[in-house]
Structure 1
Amino acid sequence: MGRFLSTVARAFWAMLPAYVPNNAAVLLGGDRPIDGGRTWGSNRVLGDGKTWRGTLLGTACGLVLALLLNRLRTYVGAPTGLSVPRFGRSALTLPLGAMGGDMAASFYKRRSGRDRGAPVPGLDQLDFVLGALSLTALLSPKWFRRVFRLPVLLAVLVLTPLLHVGTNVLAYLFGLKDEPY
């Protein structure tokens, strides 16, 4: 496998536990909003889109996926020659950080007077990545430095917006989202 494809595959593998939680939260969420309907000024703190059930189940899906990837690692790495990371503490920090990054973006949107679902290009595509990478760098620094070297980080920053747009369009087409962004 060429160096470029190997880097992209490693980036995708390493970020999968962070990519899944927000999508899972859309599918499995609902129920009581985290902010309990409270406002700050004239706007909601987070809004109805951030629920306890979605956050817990989204994080759990990312964690379970990381554990599954640990089991599949040998079967993927050996035949392809691809060096894919094993998830330790990062099995939890990546999905939890992803959910936290998304919540931070919602908080920012509410403070700036934007409605739920209103687009903020750049932030919408990378909020969860920044949350996942930040929490992982903080709580699992050795793993972070070993896995997210500069080429992998660059691949994540290019790959993520493309995946984000693609999954949002699919969710819109399947009626899971009200807007395709």
Structure 2
Amino acid sequence: MDILGVDVFEAVVVAVWAMLPAYVPNNVAVLAGGGAPIDGGRTWNGERILGDGKTWRGTVAGVAAGAVLALGLNAINGPNASIFGARLPDPFPAVVIVAMPLGAMLGDMGASFLKRRTGRQRGAAFPGVDQLDFVVMALLLTSLSAPGWTLRTFTLPVLTVVVVVTPFLHLVTNMAAYMVGLKNEPW
């Protein structure tokens, strides 16, 4: 379907494909988490810096999962690749394979830092920030590491899809994790 000359279906396909290595890390971190917290239990102004929910094991597992997924997507994304008639973006450059999932994890840590500074406890809702923190940092790190690829891939229609679809995907996956007992709250 074209809207103002934009193939909406293709924009959705490119957005989801290109963001998968950023969408997966936080979910894997929940599954693989536990162990030593990144902040080592340290506080700042009486509040934990990040909290017990941000662990080394979860972060490493999340980044690794995102990188492995990007490698897998590259393996099936050949020249002129398409899916259901929509063109796929260029394969992930080597530096993006790490930058995107690392950015996603750093964005989540940044949100935890902000939550602690604003008096929110672990798991407390922080509307807007909770849904887009990882996207902003993933795209920032990706654009710094591979600006040409980022500009070619994340066009205005694709970015629009990312900003609109990500909060919905975030809520759906968190609700599912809550329903199966992996999270204590559904957001």
Q: TM-score range by the shorter chain?
A: over 0.9
1:162 is the counterpart of 2:168: yes
- Structure 1 length normalisation: TM-score? 0.96
**1:107 partnered with 2:113:** yes
Conserved 8 A contact 2:99-2:138: yes
Cα distance in 1, alignment partners of residues 79 and 184 from structure 2: 39
Q: How does 1:27-106 map to 2 (within 5 A)?
A: 27-74=31-78, 77-78=81-82, 80-85=84-89, 86-88=91-93, 89-106=95-112
Gaps of 5+ in 1: none
In the other structure, the counterpart of 2:149 is 143
Q: Report how far residue 145 of structure 1 moved.
A: 0.5
Hey, what does 1:125 align to over in structure 2? 131
Letter in 2 for 1:112: T
Q: Deviations over 1:115-145 (max 9, x none)?
A: 0010010000000000100111111111110
Shift of 1:74: 3.4
Larger strand proportion, structure 1 or 2?
2
Q: If each structure's helix is expressed as a fraction of its own residues, which one has the higher value?
A: 1
Q: Give ranges in structure 2 of 5+ residues lacking alignment.
A: none
- TM superposition score normalised by structure 2: 0.93
Identity %: 58
**Structure 2 residue identity aligned to 1:16:** L
What is the distance in 1 between the residues matched to 2:119 and 2:83? 51
How many pairs does the alignment contain? 181
